[in-house]
Amino acid sequence: KRPVAIGAIALACALPWYLKSLASTGNPFYPMFYGIFGGRGWSEANAALYASKAGLKGFGTTLPMLLKSPWNLTFYWTRFESFNPGPIVLLTFPALLTVFFVRGENRRRALLITAMAAGYYLMWFFDYQSTRFLIPYYGLSAALAGLFMTRSGSQRLHAGWAAALALGACFLIGAGWNARWILCEANPRPQACFLGITDREQYLTQALDYYPAIRALNADVPAEEAVLCIGEHRGYYFGPRPLISDWFDTPVILDLIRRTKNNGEIFSLLEKENCHHVFFNFGELGKYHHSDFRPRFSPEEYRRFEEFLSSPRLRLRKEIGPVKIFRIVKEESAS
């Protein structure tokens, strides 16, 4: 009954999100399970790209790699994601053996949590090996560690104290890592903004290469207009509505190309969207152009993309850092 109750509670908490996804995309688990539910705004090619990127994480899904994964997560974490989990997986993995030490009524509880923790870890290992997706495992293994510390019946071996010290080491190492990153590695340093030495706008200007261009765009373009974004996939701080796509999505400009017969129709669609500006981040596009952008275009589609960029209807208004902001002019003005 308890696993059913826990599952029902989890489903109830997530249900609003599932309903929102179902209403907006037709797939309650969007973008997952595309082969079963489909999903508006997603495609088979996008699903394949997502799966290929997921397959690049970690060291593979063989049994030896499963056994070595706690060690690899601790010492080779950059292969999984750019988020350092610290030694928590390595130190809490033995907590899965708690079931062999806990006595009495707590044995059933330990068995349940062990099964859930192990099941989630296996699902993570064979699906998408990103360290940030391990957060549920951390919580489950922490519960197991608590049982081990208080109910193991191994006081002579001081097992409880050993587990407490291991978790304390995780905390200290994690806190030390964060402090080192903030004080020595972060660029710009966030503490100056936190202490009020520099203001928020100055910090954002230093931290985000596209933020000065965003400020200039917001000052000139009314909030009720839309802006076509090329290369830029971050929608933060836009005043006007950004026509934007994630790395995994079909690029907005490619979607427009596929929906039209020529570039003149693209400009007509943009006008209907009340879109009169193009926000082109050359610097950001350069990071993934050859791997995730250019390969998605057919030769004819990329030719139209290049023609779109060189169209006389695009007038350069501002160039700020790696960003160029174009104004879309009427066809008669362009000629």
Using pLDDT thresholds of 50, 70 and 90, give the confidence band for residue 247.
Answer: confident
| Long-range CB contacts (within 8 A, 24+) of 282-285 | 282/231, 282/322, 282/323, 282/324, 283/209, 283/210, 283/231, 283/321, 283/322, 283/323, 284/209, 284/210, 284/231, 284/232, 284/233, 284/322, 285/230, 285/231, 285/232
As a whole number of angstroms, the distance between CA 196 and CA 296 comes to 45
Tell me if residue 40 falls in helix, strand or coil: coil
What digits encode the pLDDT tens for the residues 50-106? 888 888 889 988 999 999 999 999 899 889 988 888 887 887 777 666 666 666 667
Whether residue 20 contacts residue 129, with contact meaning beta carbons closer than 8 Å, is answered with: no
Cis geometry, peptide bond prior to residue 85 (ω within 30 degrees of 0):
no
| 71 vs 65: CA distance, rounded Å | 10
Arithmetic mean of pLDDT, 148-164: 63
Contact in structure between 297 and 253 (CB atoms under 8 Å) = no
Question: What pLDDT, on a 0 to 100 scale, did the predictor assign at position 160?
Answer: 66
In the block, which residue shows the tokens 């799966």? 51
pTM for this one? 0.77
Q: Which residue has better confidence, 305 or 112?
A: 305
Residue 38 pLDDT > 60: yes
Question: Confidence band (pLDDT; 50, 70, 90) for 223?
Answer: very high
Read off the pLDDT band of 146 (50, 70, 90): confident
| 316 bridge partner residues | 326
Reference 143, options 172, 161, 116, 125; nearest CA is 116
Q: What's the rounded mean pLDDT across residues 26-47?
A: 88
Q: Which of 123-127, 140-144, 148-152, 236-240 has the lowest mean pLDDT?
A: 148-152
7, pLDDT greater than 90: no
Structure-model confidence comparison of residues 137 and 97, the more confident one: 137
Q: Is the pLDDT of residue 145 over 80?
A: no
Give tens-digit pLDDT for 25-36.
999 988 888 889
* Tokens coding 247: 């790395």
- Whether residue 40 contacts residue 55, with contact meaning beta carbons closer than 8 Å, is answered with no
Amino acid symbol at 212? P
Contact criterion met (CB below 8 Å) for 234 and 210:
yes
Question: Which candidate, 228, 215, 216, places its Cα nearest to that of 269?
Answer: 228
Average pLDDT, integer, range 169-185: 86
Give the mean pLDDT of 290-306.
93
The percentage of the chain sitting over the pLDDT mark of 70, rounded to a whole number, equals 91
Q: How far apart are CA 138 and CA 306, in angstroms?
A: 48
Q: Which of 155, 113, 106 is nearest to 136 (CA)?
A: 113
Quick one: average pLDDT of 37-58? 86
CB atoms within 10 A of CB 92: 23
Q: Is the pLDDT of residue 215 over 80?
A: yes
pLDDT at 152 over 80: no
pLDDT tens string 97-127: 666 666 666 777 778 888 888 899 999 999 8
Q: Where are the alpha helices (DSSP H) in 200-245?
A: 200-207, 211-220
pLDDT exceeds 80 at position 191: yes
* 63 burial type by CB count under 10 A (0-12 exposed, 13-18 middle, 19+ buried): exposed
pLDDT score of 82: 80
pLDDT at 140 over 90: no
pLDDT at 219 over 90: yes
Q: Are 92 and 140 in contact, with CB atoms under 8 Å apart?
A: no
Q: Which amino acid is at 54?
A: A
Higher pLDDT, 260 or 91: 260
Query: Is residue 237 classed exposed, middle or buried when 0-12, 13-18 and 19+ CB atoms within 10 A define those classes?
Result: middle
In the chain, where do the E strands start and end? 226-230, 241-243, 275-281, 314-320, 323-328
